[in-house]
Chain A
Amino acid sequence: MGDHHHGPAKGLSRWLFTTNHKDIGTMYLWFSFAMFILGGAFAMIIRAELFQPGMQLVEPAFFNQMTTLHGLIMVFGAIMPSFVGLANWMIPMMIGAPDMALPRMNNWSFWILPPAFLILASTLFMEGGAPAFGWTFYAPLSTTYAPPSVTYFIFSIHVLGLSSIMGSINIIATVMNMRAPGMTYMKMPLFVWTWLITAFLLVAVMPVLAGAVTMMLMDIHFGTSFFSAAGGGDPVLFQHVFWFFGHPEVYIIILPAFGVVSQIIPAFSRKPLFGYASMVYATAAIAFLSFIVWAHHMYTVGMPIAGELFFMYATMLIAVPTGVKVFNWITTMWRGSMTFETPMLFCIGFLVLFTIGGFTGLMLSIAPADFQYHDSYFVVAHFHYVMVAGAVFSMTAAVYYWLPKWCGRMYNETMGKTHFWISFIGFNVTFFPQHFVGLAGMPRRIPDYALQFTDFNMMSSIGAFIYGASQILFLYNVIATIVAGKPTSEEKVWDGAEGLEWTVATPAPYHTFETPPAVR
């Protein structure tokens, strides 16, 4: 085995066979960006078709495939892998570990993802077309009435679920077992905490998703009747199983984002994070509550009123711990000594827009009002505020924040700020009007709409192109930095940054903590 103080191997095998957390993190990050472009391209098709009333570009059946694949690819292909990539890169460095706890499995978790998505994307070219039943794939549209490609969809969900479970087990084992001596749980950076809790959520709910798609598989091919009333089953059963996974899933998307923001805001406020302990408890509270609110996606299915009330109250409660987080971030900024580099700008953007998305979430949680909001564009606006301005903005902030540490080069600040402002404006132009059309009665997942919704849809489409185009700037900036950015070798790239990752050399060496650092 020899010693491994040497750097990375050369060529393709470095990536294919690697066990190094940084290599794997890098692969996750690039993969997720590729998926972001693919999912974004689908979104552009959606927005182009919705630019005007009438069918212009695509057929309704294809439009539904776009909606479905856009949602699936953004959630499972872009956002989740991006945060797993970040976890791979940062967690070992943040807790003073040499690598992830189970490095070979780590490589496997990554490598099953690309083929799983290849299979998913290839359904577009299959007879009958790609899945067209929405990312929530409600039965029986996704069973009896689905195109044959649904079988491939089911297996790709199985595979990417496996990837998530193994990735999460790895993170849990790393955090529980690999902390440097002295790094107690309550000294861990918040990003590590939020990921620990996220990983727990993933291990708990991905198997349930696997169960849901397995039931679909059986209904489609083996004659069972889980989702058919004729045999004593219930289509609504599918929704319960799906959302038992699906709601925690949205916090899986946002908790790591909370972690990132909790690292960056203190750095640029030059002031320690306010309320560290309450941040941890709030995260745990959100995770706990996420298990008992799933049916707020199903207020209109005809649940008995007692169920309706229970899920309404439980959902509303989530505003409390989330509020604690928002207040803590703002109090961290309060009387700080702030500067506004690109990562900080994206965090402030996150803070404002996520909170707005949270407010609309709270409105949605009010069951009687949700009878009017449900399945309208109001919901679409809500979740893009929390997922794009929430997860994507914070991920962008994370890349700008840690990129200098990763590659030892500084990105172009002007370009970064420009990226932020175009994104911020483009994003709001895209999604703010969707609140209006939603309230005025425009259902979601429709390829064509009534005339009174025209203007706001046009606005939304224009915003979407602007927001999408701004991502070119991001991509360019990142590549330019890696190839030819201004070299920096300062260990602490940002003067206000705290944490072990800033104590090692820049760029971060291939193997970081061969011997554990001392933590006081």
Chain B
Amino acid sequence: MGFISERLRAIVVHAAALIATVLSGGALASGSKVNQMDMSPGVTATGQAIYDLHTAILWICIVIGVVVFGVMFYSIIYHRKSKGYKAANFHESTSVEIAWTVVPFLILIGMAVPATSTLIQVYDTEEAEMDILVTGYQWKWKYEYLNENGENVSFFSNLRTAQDEIYNTEDKGEHYLLEVDEPVVIPVDTKVRFLVTANDVIHSWWVPELAVKRDAIPGFVNETWTRADEVGIYRGQCAELCGKDHGFMPIVVNVVSKEDYAAWLETKQAEAAEIKALMAQTFTMDELVARGKNVYQGYCAACHGMNGEGGLGKAIAGSAIATGDLTKHLDIGVNGVPGTAMQAFGGQMNDVDMAAVITYQRNAFGNNMGDMVQPIDVFNHKKG
């Protein structure tokens, strides 16, 4: 009962909110607002052009609709038998028929012209000032900065919303489902080219405010671009069904000033250098387990469960692998299990994280193996 009355209350509250927004004409301003009803022009020139095109076609359709339905309803109201209206008997008129073939055709040409020029604009990826390689994974995005000064900057971007929020045991945050652990950062007023590909299945990189949607096809690289006019945080989602967690692989683009971008890039490069240093280091069990726990929750929990109980992947708790030969376990982590959803994580995370997560799996969920893996072991294993 409590369940139902709670739902009922929710309906009433939301209905009231809905009526309020609809009455106020919806939220048409930029940014995906609550109860937004129309496309947003976003913060790019292309976005504006698409928005204008959209608005123009919409209105053309509305006008045609009003005329067509107007005629129909006139006829429905006046030409009815109950009013004693007698049926006419015409059933042909070549001139009328030619007219309503030609006129829509001309209207279509009128639409095709701006559509063509906008399309050409969308396709013009030339003269980009920087390139970012975007790779879709089940279910996260990887960003690699390709230009000289962006070298080594490469990271994964995972959903940050907690499972507790998703399963309603905790209140949902403001950016529920649209928040990531590490957003992609680009400078404002800069033509950025995105090279979009995928590692496993097809994904689609979509940020409405930047007017970018491009499919990520495994084995092929697609090009698209944007130039954001305004600093801000823009959120999007994967737009191509890519398996279980398709609904849970958001995109967050942080558009910053050019100076902030340069600073960010610098920290990123420093971080990369730091990881390099860490690679050579030896860690204690506690350090590895602590780090591993984070990695596990970010990478593995989606399939193997928060408590190693399994799900899409096999259970880690008590698994023969995780409580067996260490090399075998490490090998699965690095190279995956071909032909299953268990991917090769060797290329996706650095050796420190890999060492940590394997160690964690062997010493958590009741797997008290007591052994550990060091980054150097991972490195050696990868080399074969």
Which residues of A are at the interface with B, using a C-beta cutoff of 8 A? 51-56, 60-61, 64, 132-134, 138, 140-141, 144-145, 228-230, 234-236, 269-278, 300-302, 305, 308-309, 312-313, 316-317, 319-320, 323-324, 326-327, 330-340, 348, 351-352, 355-356, 359-360, 362-363, 366-369, 371-372, 374-376, 436, 439-441, 443, 445-452, 454-456, 458-459, 462
The answer to whether B72 has its CB under 8 Å from any CB of chain A is yes
**How far is B219's CA from A194's CA once the two chains are assembled, in angstroms?**
42
**How far is B119's CA from A308's CA once the two chains are assembled, in angstroms?**
9
Select from chain B the residue with minimum beta-carbon distance to A326: B68
**How far is B49's CA from A450's CA once the two chains are assembled, in angstroms?**
26
Select one of A271, A316, A374 contacting B88, CB under 8 A: A271
Q: Is the CB of A454 within 8 A of B215?
A: no
Query: With a CB–CB cut-off of 8 A, which chain B residues contact A300?
Result: 204, 213-215, 239
Select from chain B the residue with minimum beta-carbon distance to A376: B239
Query: With a CB–CB cut-off of 8 A, which chain A residues contact B81?
Result: 270, 337-339
Given contacts A54-B167, A338-B80, contact A272 B89 (CB under 8 A): yes
The answer to whether B53 has its CB under 8 Å from any CB of chain A is yes
Q: Is the CB of B64 within 8 A of A443?
A: no
Given contacts A54-B167, A55-B168, A355-B65, contact A449 B247 (CB under 8 A): yes
**How far is B72's CA from A274's CA once the two chains are assembled, in angstroms?**
14
Q: Is the CB of A140 within 8 A of B200?
A: yes
Query: With a CB–CB cut-off of 8 A, which chain B residues contact A352?
Result: 69, 72
Q: In angstroms, how far is the closest chain A Cβ from the Cβ of B107?
A: 8
**How far is B340's CA from A145's CA once the two chains are assembled, in angstroms?**
7
**How far is B219's CA from A357's CA once the two chains are assembled, in angstroms?**
36
Binds A, one of B94-102, B141-149, B185-193, B313-321: B94-102
Select one of B21, B87, B211 contacting A335, CB under 8 A: B87
Select one of A133, A308, A337 contacting B86, CB under 8 A: A337
Say what secondary structure dominates the interface of chain A: helix
Q: Is the CB of B213 within 8 A of A372?
A: yes
Query: With a CB–CB cut-off of 8 A, which chain B residues contact A316?
Result: 108, 111-112
Q: Is the CB of A448 within 8 A of B88?
A: no
Counting contact residues on chain B (CB < 8 A from A), the size range is 35 or more
Q: Is the CB of A302 within 8 A of B223?
A: yes
Within 8 A of A (CB), among B71-113: 71-72, 75-76, 79-82, 85-93, 96-97, 100-101, 104-105, 108, 111-112
Within 8 A of A (CB), among B19-72: 21, 26, 32-40, 49-50, 53-54, 57-58, 61, 64-65, 68-69, 71-72
The answer to whether B206 has its CB under 8 Å from any CB of chain A is yes
Select from chain B the residue with minimum beta-carbon distance to A333: B75
Query: With a CB–CB cut-off of 8 A, which chain B residues contact A144?
Result: 200-201, 339
Q: Is the CB of A134 within 8 A of B241?
A: yes
**How far is B17's CA from A338's CA once the two chains are assembled, in angstroms?**
42
Select one of A236, A305, A312, A330 contacting B123, CB under 8 A: A305
Select one of A140, A302, A326 contacting B214, CB under 8 A: A302
Q: Is the CB of A452 within 8 A of B166?
A: no
Query: With a CB–CB cut-off of 8 A, which chain B residues contact A236?
Result: 217, 220
* Sampled A-B contacts (5; CB under 8 Å): A316-B112, A368-B121, A448-B177, A448-B247, A455-B14
